[in-house]
Amino acid sequence: MRISAKISFIIFIIGIGFLSCHKTENTTENSSLNKEIERKVDSVLNLMTLEEKIGQTVQYSVGGTLTGPGSSSSSRDKHEKIKKGEVGSLLNVVSVARVREMQELVMENSRLKIPLIFAYDVIHGLKTIFPIPLGESASWDLDLMKQSAAIAAKESAASGLNWTFAPMIDVSRDARWGRIMEGAGEDPYLNSVIGVARIQGFQGDDLADNNTIAACAKHFAGYGFAEAGREYSAVTVGEFELHNMILPPFKAAAKAGVATFMNSFNDIDGIPATGHRELQRDILKGDWNWNGFIVSDWGSIGEMRAHGFAKDKKHAAEIALNAGSDMDMESYAYEASLATLLEEDKISLEHLNDAVKRILRIKFQLGLFDDPYKYCDEEKEKNDIYTPEHLAVARDAAKKSIVLLKNDHEILPVSKSVKSIAIIGPFGDNKNQPLGNWRGKGAYNSAVSLLEGVKAKVDANTKIYYEKGIDLLIPTVAPGERQFLHPLKINTENKDGIAKAVAAAKKAEIVLLAIGEDAYQTGEGRSQVDIGFAGLQNELLEAVYKVNKNIVLVLSNGRPMDLTHANEILPAILVTWQLGSESGNGIADVLFGDYNPSAKLPVSFPRNVGQEPLYYNQKNTGRPYHPKHVTYAGYTDVEKWPLFPFGFGLSYTTFSYDNINVDKATISSKEKITLSVEVTNSGNIAGEEVVQLYIRDLVASIVRPVKELKGFEKISLNVGETKTVTFTIDKEVLQFYTINKKWEVEAGDFQLFVGGNSATKLVQKITVE
């Protein structure tokens, strides 16, 4: 007679309870961990065979969705491994029914019945899609980003999932890199605080809550510094750049208790991140005392062969485990080689046990040992996904992510009683593109289009003319099929619709020109040498401009774009990114003044692609830029500075900054200074401003950036209202990784800048003795 899964699971838990009363040699000495969970982890580990231990380090993709190169293992082989308890995690299994089916394979067939953890790329929403992360980062609204991540977690948990591969916290300085859309841009501090907000949203206060899921800080490390913005390429940075610019967001994530890390595809100075012992085992697990587990990126263990760093898959497994990579995603290297490597003394049982303990620990924290089916609630799946409440937050996020770059002659906001509007461009009535790349389970053509959003706003008497003008892309996949792994083909020949677009523009008071980038021009594997308007878009822009100068550029984009020519001739520019499910409604809220834009750029926008990589926190050379001397740092054919700097964004009102003060001008390295500034709404309507604090260390043991963001506060001001904003300047603000190879505050002079963007010149000077 077969014992039921439930009964055998109870027997197993009783066994754990008994064993947990006895101290084992694997008991953790870290008092910050939950001691009860640690006893249970050790108890399970002591019950496991070698094959079962290795199995916990294995992650398979099961199902129809691929998020990397195709698997070399058959579904039948995978199912047999799962039934034996020799798989630790599955990805791309999304739905209560499928998750239950896979979990039952383990719970009804395996010896120890260790539950699986189910993962998916929930990057900016599962079914309710929020703005792409780069776009949402432009809101500089940490509470909003925490809320959107919490909704994504709730929908994921309702779909059977308990782990997401987000947030991406790679500092990204090069607009050519397609994956810049997935993070928070070019600044370490902004990436740090946004990353922590998203982690808190995903994980909540308790991972055992069935509305929360485990987060994953990625990609560790340096992925955003890929040479020339080429996907997966080499990263060449020194030790000080690594510690001061790349690692701070990851350290913040570790401190915030993120459950997992993911290593990156790139090498750093010749060592692939997946096999980088100093990063993973020494810094993350050692210096930072972090207790989660590290998962490889898709196939990155096996790909160390292509790097020329491992001679075969077995060698790759040896390098990866020794370096501290705990779980193998879709390389099949650990399952094939770890047992033999142990026999040959090329890896240690201590390191394998450490990896398994880390994985078990997260499963206990998620509550999966208490109830392996806790995420399999069909009622939650019916009721907690794509709800009106979630869509309302998506709309709020959309409007708060829109950056107003230009508004000559106050062309915006548009009156709702305007007589006629022409909506022109390939994204004017597009309901799919606003979902962006990495769109989870967002349904094809489910977004609110710009045309729909505008129609819902204006008076019944307003005439709306819509013409696509051109197709940006020539279809390469069937409608609704995932474009993720397929190349794009740009239309450069079919101009048939331009004449109709021109005719529509002639009849309209104002033109909304919806051009930019398709959702799949950015994202993983979507690096580009040209960041201007692809295909026939410039031709469309020029043709429309000849007949109607009253144009608002409604820019759709997943990266900074070269807007130099558009900025020269067009009176208004809105950066609307790819804003998700409620895109059209959010854009209309801003266009017609129901929301006063407050977003600020999380990345610099260049004058020319030749400026890339471009970032505000550069270091001076011995010959700082001078516009009248060619023998000083810069270009001879374009200004050195960006077209629109980091932190920039306009409002329908104006703000003035006055009376910047510090409470003392000289302090010791252990003291604090309070900086204050008065901010006044000097315009005609209420608005929000992001007040930004930057510092500069004038003389240091290593060359420091000309400015570094160290704080910000988003405030609301009524017309004529003044608020005093204060910042605390302390050790955390002033310290950096010095020539002594440690974080410390050095004595000397500092400049403190406050303003509405990184180009601010409002400054106070202080001295640290």
Half-sphere exposure of 623 (CA within 13 A, CB side): 10
If pLDDT is split at 50, 70 and 90, which confidence band does 658 have?
A: very high
Q: Is the peptide bond before 219 cis (omega within 30 degrees of 0)?
A: yes
- What whole-number distance in Å separates Cα of residue 527 and Cα of residue 266? 15
Contact 294, 261 (CB under 8 A): yes
Beta-bridge partners for 716:
688
Beta-bridge partners for 421:
464, 510
Measured from the Cβ of residue 8, the count of other Cβ atoms closer than 10 Å reads: 17
The reported pLDDT for the residue numbered 407 is 98
The reported pLDDT for the residue numbered 756 is 98
425, exposed or middle or buried, with CB in 10 Å at 0-12, 13-18, 19+?
A: buried
- What whole-number distance in Å separates Cα of residue 622 and Cα of residue 611? 19
- What whole-number distance in Å separates Cα of residue 184 and Cα of residue 166? 12
Q: pLDDT tens digit string along 302-350?
A: 999 999 999 999 999 999 999 999 999 999 999 999 999 999 999 999 9
- What whole-number distance in Å separates Cα of residue 571 and Cα of residue 573? 7
Token pair of 12 as six digits: 């197993």
Asked if residue 8 has pLDDT above 70, the reply is no
Beta-bridge partners for 118:
90
If pLDDT is split at 50, 70 and 90, which confidence band does 13 have?
A: very low
Which residues contact residue 519 at a Cβ distance below 8 angstroms, ignoring those fewer than 6 apart? 432, 433, 434, 435, 436, 437, 439, 483, 558, 578
Average pLDDT over residues 750-769: 97
Average pLDDT over residues 126-141: 98
Q: pLDDT tens digit string along 32-81?
A: 568 999 999 999 999 999 999 999 999 999 976 666 676 556 677 899 99
What angle separates helix 142-158 from helix 388-400, to the nearest 10 degrees? 150
- What whole-number distance in Å separates Cα of residue 583 and Cα of residue 135? 12
Asked if residue 506 has pLDDT above 90, the reply is yes
| Number of helical (H) and strand (E) elements in the chain, helices listed first | 23, 26
Q: pLDDT tens digit string along 104-121?
A: 999 999 999 999 999 999
- Tokens 């197993």, residue located: 12
DSSP 61-114: E-SS--SSSPPSS-HHHHHHHHHTT---EEES--SHHHHHHHHHHHHHHSSS-P
Beta-bridge partners for 416:
none
The reported pLDDT for the residue numbered 70 is 61
Element (H, E) at 572: strand 572-575
Q: Strand 89-91 relative to strand 117-120: parallel, antiparallel, unpaired?
A: parallel
Average pLDDT over residues 522-538: 97
Question: Is residue 730 flagged as an active site residue?
Answer: no
Lowest-confidence range among 245-249, 485-489, 593-597, 729-733?
485-489
Q: 3-class SS at 659?
A: strand
Q: pLDDT tens digit string along 441-476?
A: 999 999 999 999 999 999 999 999 999 999 999 998
DSSP 520-568: GGSSTT---S--S--TTHHHHHHHHHHH---EEEEEE-SS----HHHHH
Which residues contact residue 258 at a Cβ distance below 8 angstroms, ignoring those fewer than 6 apart? 199, 203, 215, 216, 217, 292
**Greatest distance between any 2 Cα atoms in the chain:** 90
4, exposed or middle or buried, with CB in 10 Å at 0-12, 13-18, 19+?
A: exposed
Domain boundaries, the chain: 1-118+350-386, 390-602, 655-768
Contact 698, 748 (CB under 8 A): yes
- Tokens 């429309």, residue located: 544
The reported pLDDT for the residue numbered 630 is 76
The reported pLDDT for the residue numbered 143 is 98
Q: pLDDT tens digit string along 510-527?
A: 999 999 999 999 999 999
Query: Sheet holding 510-516: strands in order across?
Result: 403-407, 572-575, 551-556, 510-516, 420-424, 463-467
Contact 106, 116 (CB under 8 A): yes
Token pair of 743 as six digits: 């974080």
Residue 145 carries which side chain, given as an amino acid letter?
A: M
Classify domain 390-602 by CATH number: 3.40.50.1700
CA-based radius of gyration for the chain: 27
- Tokens 């508004």, residue located: 407
Average pLDDT over residues 145-157: 98
If pLDDT is split at 50, 70 and 90, which confidence band does 481 have?
A: confident
Average pLDDT over residues 19-33: 38
Residue-averaged pLDDT of the chain: 94
The reported pLDDT for the residue numbered 31 is 45
Architecture in CATH of 655-768: Sandwich (2.60)
Question: Do 655-768 and 390-602 have the same topology in CATH?
Answer: no
Torsion sign (Cα): 679, 682, 688, 689: negative
Q: Strand 687-697 relative to strand 736-737: parallel, antiparallel, unpaired?
A: unpaired
Average pLDDT over residues 208-222: 97
User: Would you state the torsion angle of the CA atoms of residues 672, 678, 679, 684, taken in this order, to the nearest 10 degrees?
Assistant: 170
- Tokens 């491994």, residue located: 81
- What whole-number distance in Å separates Cα of residue 283 and Cα of residue 673? 31
Torsion sign (Cα): 189, 195, 198, 204: negative
What angle separates helix 248-255 from helix 188-203, to the nearest 10 degrees? 30
- The catalytically annotated residue of 42, 170, 297, 589 is 297
Average pLDDT over residues 741-751: 98
